[in-house]
Every structure is written in structure tokens, then in C-alpha cells.
């Protein structure tokens, strides 16, 4: 029988104006930190588990460095160099104190397939100042020359790229890789060149589905030992909700066409209330219904929406793709 992805958790009710970790939202606030400090896995835990979110972490004791993810509330946006590797270039978290820091390689794993509607990212101060000003190892973005002072062939058209790769449980690609530029100096109008120092959602409006999220960074500044740009970014406010396959006719209702450009028909054999929610849980339409309901969603932005049908027999939710 045909199956669909259906939300079964708490129906996208994360309110990111109030920082709080849950099974659906990752804000890092449940990790207790003293002011202007960080947690990097030096206790040997080997992972960071917050609700449904498992973040890889490795800490090398002899060389005292971490790989994967750390948690921080460091606000220093002026100190350059490796000693300030845990600070966000935005001067803290997004609507909160704590945030995550990624270095080198790492994966976020969910206990099942999840619909991911938001992931805010920004640069770390270490990477941001390195790109803005240059240092002993890394070039100043926009310059014709590398850190050694010789032309590097980029013509100053530099970028720092974050790749977000959705994976299934077997580590195979589950959808398209998402490219998000943390810095971009390739614009014809140089006033548009930027190094990100604000928190921005890195995901497309329609969201993604994944069992795991893998992250990779690349840069136009490379040398004999790999990338010269510091291999870091900061993350916060990850919103992800569990999905499972359920029978389409569980409550004998259907939504057609889906995907839709705007016009759609909802048909059912039950009486109830229908609510249309956007990807962060806000209700954009609500009505009672019986048998059939015609809707025009053409006024809404393209993306993923959810139809929540509540009846005396129970509640069922279907995903709507608005083109």
C-alpha cells in the first residue's frame, strides 16, 4: 500500500524565540556552561547527545584538540587565531547564549528519518578574522595573493563553502547536497562581497529529510596540506521532527494535487478540523470540514507545509509541497 511521510511528534511547535532543547529543536541550552566558556569533549564522552540529536565528538588528549562538535557561549569577536576557536563571529548564539561549533568533520544523527526545516549557521571568529585580515597561514579574502604574498590564481574571487549532505542510515545520499556560502567574494560589484557574521538559515524553504546530516567545508585558499582557511563554522537552532511511513488512508482523507501550485482539494469521509501549518509550526489556514474542501494556497511562498486533520477518530498529518 502506498505510504507517505507523516509527522508523528509534536507537530512543529518549536518556538525559537524561546531557547529550549527538545526532541524537535536543538539550541544547545541544556548544556550547562559557565559564562564565556565551552565544552569540547575533554571528559572523553565521545559524543554529544541532546534529545533526539547525536553529535559526533572526538577529543585528542595528547594534542588537546577536538574534532566534530563542541558547545560554546564565547562572545569574543575581536581576538584572532586558534586560541579563540570556540567563538562565533556573531558574538554569541542565535536568540540564546549557547551554540554549537564544528571543526574538521562531523555528523548529526537522528534515531529515525527526520524532516529538517531549519539550521542556522554563521562563521566562527577564528575563520572570520582569518578571511577578513589574513594571517600567517591563510590569505586575506579578495586579495590576488596567498598568505606568502604570491599570486594564487584566484584573482581575489574567494569563497568559503559549507556543504550540508543529507544521508540515510547506510550513509548513502538521501537528497541533494545543500551549498551555503559562509563567505563569497565573487560578485562583480565588490560591495556585495561578504564574510557572514550573522545567524542565517542554511536550509531551503522546503526543508529536507534525512537520518543523518554530514558537513563539509571548502575554500579557494588551499595549500600543500589542504585548506588554509580555518575549518570551522558555528550552528544553532536546528529544527527537526520525526517522520514515519503510515498508510495514506488512515483516516480516509486525501490531498490532491500534491505537489501543488496553489489550488488543491481535500477529501474525506470524516468530519473534523483542518489546519495548514508552515515549516516552523505556524498556522496559516484553519477551517472545519466535512467530505470536501477546496483551498487556494497560491498566496503562500513555495516550500513545505503540513495539513493537520483532527477528527473524533484521531489526528493525521500529511505533507504538502507548495511549488
Show Cβ contacts of residue 151 under 8 Å, excluding neighbours closer than 6 positions. 144, 145
Distance between CA atoms of 177 and 108, rounded to whole angstroms? Answer: 15
**Predicted local distance difference test score (pLDDT) of residue 124:** 98
Ranges under pLDDT 70 in the chain:
1-19, 243-251, 279-281
Show Cβ contacts of residue 225 under 8 Å, excluding neighbours closer than 6 positions. none
CA distances from 135 to 165, 185, 186, 187, 316 (A): 30, 18, 21, 23, 56
Distance between CA atoms of 323 and 317, rounded to whole angstroms? Answer: 19
**Predicted local distance difference test score (pLDDT) of residue 112:** 87
> What CATH number belongs to 251-322?
2.60.40.3080
**Predicted local distance difference test score (pLDDT) of residue 271:** 86
Domain boundaries, the chain: 3-244, 251-322
Distance between CA atoms of 10 and 27, rounded to whole angstroms? Answer: 17
Which superfamily, per CATH, for 3-244? Protein of unknown function DUF4465 (2.60.120.1350)
Distance between CA atoms of 156 and 144, rounded to whole angstroms? Answer: 5
In this structure, what C-alpha cell is assigned to residue 214?
Answer: 554530514
**pLDDT tens digits for range 252-283:** 788 888 888 889 889 888 888 998 888 666 78
**Predicted local distance difference test score (pLDDT) of residue 243:** 63
Amino acid at each position: 500500500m502506498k505510504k507517505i511521510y507523516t509527522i508523528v511528534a509534536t507537530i512543529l511547535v518549536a518556538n525559537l524565540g524561546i531557547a529550549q532543547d527538545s526532541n524537535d529543536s536543538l539550541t544547545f541550552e541544556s548544556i550547562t556552561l559557565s559564562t564565556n566558556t565551552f565544552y569540547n569533549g575533554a571528559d572523553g564522552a565521545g559524543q554529544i547527545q541532546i534529545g533526539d540529536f547525536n553529535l559526533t565528538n572526538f577529543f585528542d588528549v595528547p594534542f588537546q584538540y577536538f574534532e566534530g562538535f563542541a558547545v560554546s557561549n564565547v562572545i569574543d569577536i575581536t581576538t584572532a587565531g586558534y586560541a579563540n576557536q570556540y567563538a562565533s563571529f556573531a558574538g554569541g548564539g542565535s536568540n540564546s547564549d549557547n551554540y554549537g561549533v564544528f571543526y574538521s568533520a562531523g555528523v548529526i544523527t537522528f534515531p529515525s528519518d527526520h524532516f529538517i526545516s531549519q539550521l542556522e549557521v554563521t562563521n566562527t571568529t577564528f575563520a572570520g578574522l582569518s578571511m577578513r585580515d589574513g594571517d600567517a597561514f591563510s590569505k586575506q579574502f579578495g586579495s590576488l595573493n596567498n598568505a606568502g604574498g604570491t599570486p594564487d590564481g584566484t584573482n581575489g574571487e574567494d569563497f568559503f563553502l559549507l556543504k550540508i549532505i543529507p544521508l540515510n542510515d547506510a550513509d548513502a545520499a538521501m537528497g541533494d547536497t545543500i551549498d551555503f556560502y559562509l563567505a563569497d567574494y565573487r560578485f562583480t560589484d565588490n560591495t556585495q562581497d561578504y564574510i557572514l557574521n550573522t545567524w542565517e538559515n542554511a536550509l531551503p524553504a522546503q526543508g529536507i529529510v534525512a537520518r543523518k546530516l554530514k558537513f563539509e567545508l571548502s575554500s579557494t585558499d588551499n595549500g600543500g596540506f589542504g585548506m588554509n582557511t580555518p575549518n570551522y563554522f558555528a550552528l544553532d537552532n536546528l529544527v527537526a521532527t520525526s517522520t514515519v511511513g503510515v498508510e495514506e488512508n488512515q483516516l480516509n482523507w486525501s490531498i490532491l494535487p500534491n505537489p501543488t501550485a496553489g489550488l488543491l482539494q481535500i477529501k474525506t469521509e470524516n468530519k473534523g478540523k483542518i489546519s495548514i501549518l508552515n515549516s516552523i509550526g505556524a498556522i496559516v489556514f484553519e477551517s472545519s470540514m466535512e467530505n470536501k474542501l477546496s483551498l487556494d494556497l497560491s498566496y503562500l511562498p513555495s516550500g513545505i507545509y503540513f495539513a493537520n486533520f483532527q477528527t473524533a477518530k484521531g489526528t493525521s498529518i500529511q505533507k504538502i509541497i507548495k511549488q
